A and B are shown apart, each in its own frame.
Chain A
């Protein structure tokens, strides 16, 4: 093996054990994301390698990155596998649009209220399911049932929009016109930086939890709940806290969705598939890690959106998602985020072997 490579491997191996490694990597990836709208236009020798990425794709990518980051706090850190996060996403979208469209309330106030409502709904789900000790399949099915329940409530109550949902109100109906105050913009670029801002907030919260005593409590619950309870962790209370925080932040990208797209309908924000799109980036990137949801979303969502937007074949993007899901769970359940470390460990093991032979 070349010396340069082995030195690089050694240096990375030392770096990843430092306390600042994770915050540094998080900062780097957020900076890269901030530069993304320009990077995609960058041409090397007349070819733009990222030219196929539209701003719209990048926005959708960050929406699902943010939901996955929020999902991760409950399901990745605490191990309570939610298959019904569409409930919180949809509540975020609907509450915001109803408050803004019907009552003329600022979408920002609407978003905060919607995240409180989502957190309360999360607390109700958590209080019921944890009280009755639902685990594994039963927990996943229960969360799915709570999400599907909302879908049919919103479909069948005309005051909540019914099956046709709501149109996004015009900015001048409740504000002076498009702008940050109105949560509406004329181009895509401000939307991109807004959702990047949401992602940054949720990521910082996730990192803070990861590094705090709260985080260690949550990890302990995930690894062995009874043991955690035995050493004095109030597991019920901390599981509820994780659900509430996760639901609170899942409502943000939901509110963003409502203010970015022209319409919302039960079949778009509460759909069965939304539950999957929310957790997909985290699964692909690495469940329970801070960087996993971001890296995973960058891999899987642009591919899916590209396939959906460039081929006139409906359903092809879902088939791609399905294939990626199966491949990741079968061959790399720790996610893409584990690949550099696996690579380093592999190389180190080989170097050690070679050294032994030489000796």
Chain B
């Protein structure tokens, strides 16, 4: 029973366990009264990997929020566009999906700038609800568009990356690569914000939009750039998901809702916060799936979310985009 769980866990089914949506493997372990250290270590690894992916998903969302004070409901839909871009690119060129991911990132950057210019820029000073509604409209159009073209059935790349084994604990390669990419994206974006003039301008705009305008920063241009980078990060997050998980047009919504939780937990606009929040959600989800069954872990996630919203709405590591 146990060994079958591990065998499953290192194959594609690991995606199902860690990838959020399926707890079929968990009941196999539920019968045990005490988890052995190996099982615990296995869950720990899964939780860290999933947490890293959540952190990556939340990165673009938190950046747009920190700089522009806009909640981008279309974030999950942009991820979906990236997933299908990777699928089409890989099918069309026959190249490894690792070439498709940068392509998706560049495409999504352009897409993000276009969305900003056509829908966000005209109402950037309107009440916050208006931006929420408009980005939700973009979500509906993008997800429906993908569904109309590709259908609602699950798609997959047909990769089998396998797993590494470290003293009895399996590390699925797909998730591991995704985590590495997430960390590279985090440090790359952080360096860009800290070490370049444009990055300084973005941080200045996040701090004080009016002040930034007074010292000569082209705030609308910074907004367009920020939205583009946010969309590109959504593209990166969406691009790595096919490495370890089958996907549908509806998958974006599931990631989006938890990404909101991650962003608020970590503090809106905070990069390290996104990863801390991601890890918290990753641990709740993996251990919740194993010990509570079903999707009960989502109840725990929302209770934690409401608690943080009420007690410390600025988040555990609250701050602006420059921290």
Contacts and interface: CB of A to CB of B under 8 A. Distances in A.
Interface of A: 81, 83, 128-129, 131-132, 134, 136-138, 140-142, 144-146, 148-149, 152-153, 155-156, 272, 276, 283, 313-316, 318-319, 321-326, 329-330, 333
Nearest to B65: A137
A156 B148 contact: no
Contact of A325 (B122, B134, B152, B260): B134
Contacts of B130: 329, 333
Interface residues on B, range: 35 or more
Given A314-B148, A316-B144, 15 more contacts: A81-B129, A129-B309, A132-B310, A137-B132, A140-B128, A142-B306, A145-B306, A148-B298, A148-B302, A313-B148, A315-B144, A315-B147, A321-B140, A325-B137, A330-B119
Contacts of B296: 152, 156
Contacts of A325: 133-134, 136-137, 140
30 contacts: A132-B309, A134-B313, A137-B128, A138-B264, A140-B128, A140-B129, A141-B71, A141-B260, A142-B306, A145-B261, A145-B306, A146-B302, A152-B296, A152-B298, A152-B299, A156-B295, A272-B253, A314-B152, A319-B144, A322-B144, A324-B137, A325-B134, A326-B119, A326-B134, A326-B138, A326-B141, A329-B130, A329-B134, A330-B119, A333-B130
Contact of A140 (B119, B132, B138): B132
B271 interface: no
A90 to B, nearest CB: 15
Contacts of B119: 326, 330
Contacts of B129: 81, 136, 140
A141 to B, nearest CB: 6
A326 B133 CA distance: 7
A134 B313 CA distance: 8
A272 B160 CA distance: 33
A131 B136 CA distance: 28
A283 B129 CA distance: 10
Contacts of B143: 315, 318
Contacts of A146: 302, 306
A319 B138 CA distance: 9
Nearest to A313: B148
B140 A128 contact: no
Contacts of A324: 137
Contacts, number: 129
Contacts of A128: 306, 310
The 5 closest A-B pairs by CB, nearest first: A322-B140, A315-B144, A325-B137, A319-B144, A326-B137
Nearest to A311: B148
Interface centre among B123, B293, B295, B299 (most CB of A within 10 A): B299
B132 A138 contact: no
A316 B126 contact: no
A155 B294 contact: yes
B64 to A, nearest CB: 12
B188 interface: no
B302 A318 contact: no
B244 interface: no
Contact of B299 (A132, A149, A329): A149
B184 interface: no
Contacts of A276: 136, 140
Contacts of B141: 318-319, 322-323, 326
Contacts of A138: 264, 309, 313
Contacts of A272: 253, 257
Interface of B: 65, 69, 71, 119, 122-123, 126, 128-130, 132-134, 136-141, 143-145, 147-148, 152, 249, 253, 257, 260-261, 264, 268, 293-296, 298-299, 302-303, 305-306, 309-311, 313
A255 to B, nearest CB: 24
A145 to B, nearest CB: 5
B123 A330 contact: yes
Contacts of B144: 315-316, 318-319, 322
Contacts of B133: 283, 325, 329
A141 B294 CA distance: 24
Contacts of B65: 137
A319 B145 CA distance: 7
Given A314-B152, A316-B144, A329-B130, A323 B137 contact: yes
B123 A141 contact: no
B84 to A, nearest CB: 14
A131 B128 CA distance: 21
A319 B140 contact: yes
B147 A140 contact: no
A129 B260 CA distance: 17
A224 B143 CA distance: 37
Contacts of B139: 322
Given A140-B71, A329-B130, A149 B137 contact: no
Contact of A141 (B138, B264, B293): B264
B134 A316 contact: no
Contacts of B305: 145
Contacts of A132: 309-311, 313
Interface centre among B65, B119, B129, B268 (most CB of A within 10 A): B129
Contacts of A330: 119, 122-123, 134
B123 to A, nearest CB: 6
Contacts of B310: 128-129, 131-132, 134, 142
Nearest to A131: B310
B79 to A, nearest CB: 15
Contacts of B128: 81, 136-137, 140
B309 A142 contact: yes
